[in-house]
C-alpha cells in the first residue's frame, strides 16, 4: 500500500505507525517516548526495530530450519508451492538467486515427480512449478486408469458364471432347478459300472458245499473240470481232485477185500 501511494520515507513512518493496534501500538508509544528525536526516525529504522521486538531472532532461525526441511509429503504441488513461498522470506540468503530457489523447490518434491524433472532445465522458478503441476496431473490420470482396469479385471474373474441347461425352469427367488443334472446322477447310481480296459472283471462267488469240509481245509469247486494246476488234497498230485483220486480207489478196493475176508473167517 505504501508503494502504491508513493509515500516518502517520513510519510511511511507516519502512516505505518498510525495502523498499529494493541501491543504493537503500545510498543511504538514506548519507543518514541524514549527516543531523542522521534521526528527523525527513518523507515529503515522503523522496520529494523519493529522486527527486532516482534520477530525474535530465535523465531527467525526456527522458521529458516522449517524452510530448509520443507517436503511436499501429502500436499499437492500447488499447496507445496504456497508453503514454500510463505517460509522463503525467513531464509533470503539461501535462495539469493533463481537457480538456488529452483534447487530447493525441486529437492522438496515427492520422489516420482522430482526424478522426472531432474533431467530438465527450466528458465525460471515459475516454469519449474508449472511443469511439476503438469507431471502431477498426468500421474493422477494414469493412476485412475490403472485402478479402473484392475477393478474391471476383478469383477470379471471374481464371480464365475454358471450357465443353466436349456429349458431348465427357475424357482422364485432366483434358484434354478437343474433337472438334467439330477436325472444324470440317478442314472449313474442305477447303472452298474463297466470295468475299464486292462482291468479284470470280478469273478462271481458261487455257493460252495461246506458241510463235509474239515476245519482249516481250503474249499474248491468240485463240480468244475480239474486243470493242470489243481492239486489233489488226498495224494498231493496235480491234475485231479480228491474225489477222483486213483489212489483212493485202490485203497477202497483193498479195504473192501480185507473186510470181506474177515467176514468169511470162522470164529475161534
Helix (H), strand (E), coil (C) string for 114-173 = HHHHCCCCCCCHHHHHHHHHHHHHHHHHHHHHHHHHHHHHHHHHHCCCCCCCCCCCECCC
Exposed/middle/buried for residue 68 (C-beta within 10 Å: 0-12, 13-18, 19+): middle
Among 33-37, 102-106, 150-154, the minimum mean pLDDT is found in 150-154
Pairwise pLDDT comparison (112 vs 154), residue with the higher score: 112
| Whole-number pLDDT of residue 161 | 54
Pairwise pLDDT comparison (189 vs 102), residue with the higher score: 102
**Any idea where the domains of the chain sit in the sequence?**
2-54, 61-154
Residue with cell string 512449478: 129
Residue with cell string 474177515: 262
Pairwise pLDDT comparison (167 vs 153), residue with the higher score: 153
Among 36-50, 128-142, 191-205, the minimum mean pLDDT is found in 191-205
Determine the Cα–Cα distance for residues 39 and 57; give it in Å rounded to an integer: 28
Grid coordinates representing 91? 531464509
pLDDT value at 21 more than 80: yes
| Whole-number pLDDT of residue 204 | 53
Tell me how far apart the terminal alpha carbons of the chain are, to the nearest angstrom: 171
Beta pairing partners, 22: none
What does pLDDT average to over the chain? Answer: 76
| Whole-number pLDDT of residue 178 | 52
Beta pairing partners, 236: none
Residue with cell string 529458516: 64
Amino acid at each position: 500500500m505504501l508503494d502504491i501511494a508513493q509515500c516518502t520515507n517520513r510519510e511511511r513512518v507516519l502512516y505505518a505507525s498510525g495502523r498499529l493496534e494493541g501491543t504493537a501500538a503500545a510498543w511504538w508509544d514506548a519507543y518514541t517516548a524514549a527516543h531523542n528525536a522521534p521526528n527523525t526516525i527513518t523507515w529503515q529504522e522503523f522496520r529494523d526495530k519493529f522486527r527486532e521486538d516482534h520477530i525474535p531472532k530465535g523465531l527467525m532461525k526456527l522458521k529458516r530450519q522449517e524452510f530448509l526441511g520443507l517436503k511436499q509429503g501429502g500436499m499437492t504441488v500447488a499447496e507445496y508451492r504456497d508453503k514454500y513461498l510463505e517460509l522463503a522470506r525467513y531464509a533470503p540468503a539461501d535462495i539469493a538467486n533463481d537457480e538456488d530457489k529452483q534447487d530447493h523447490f525441486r529437492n522438496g518434491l515427492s520422489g516420482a515427480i522430482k526424478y522426472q524433472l531432474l533431467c530438465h532445465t527450466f528458465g525460471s522458478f515459475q516454469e519449474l512449478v508449472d511443469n511439476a503441476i503438469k507431471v502431477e496431473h498426468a500421474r493422477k490420470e494414469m493412476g485412475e486408469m490403472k485402478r479402473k482396469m484392475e477393478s474391471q479385471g476383478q469383477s470379471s474373474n471374481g464371480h464365475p458364471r454358471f450357465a443353466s441347461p436349456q429349458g431348465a425352469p427357475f424357482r422364485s427367488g432366483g434358484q434354478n432347478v437343474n433337472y438334467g443334472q439330477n436325472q444324470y446322477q440317478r442314472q449313474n447310481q442305477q447303472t452298474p459300472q463297466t470295468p475299464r480296459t486292462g482291468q479284470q472283471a470280478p469273478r462271481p462267488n458261487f455257493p460252495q458245499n461246506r458241510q463235509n469240509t474239515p476245519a482249516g481245509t481250503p474249499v474248491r469247486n468240485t463240480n468244475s473240470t480239474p486243470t493242470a494246476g489243481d492239486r489233489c488234497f488226498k495224494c498231493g498230485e496235480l491234475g485231479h481232485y480228491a474225489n477222483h483220486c486213483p489212489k483212493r480207489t485202490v485203497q477202497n478196493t483193498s479195504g473192501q477185500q480185507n473186510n470181506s475176508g474177515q467176514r468169511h473167517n470162522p470164529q475161534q
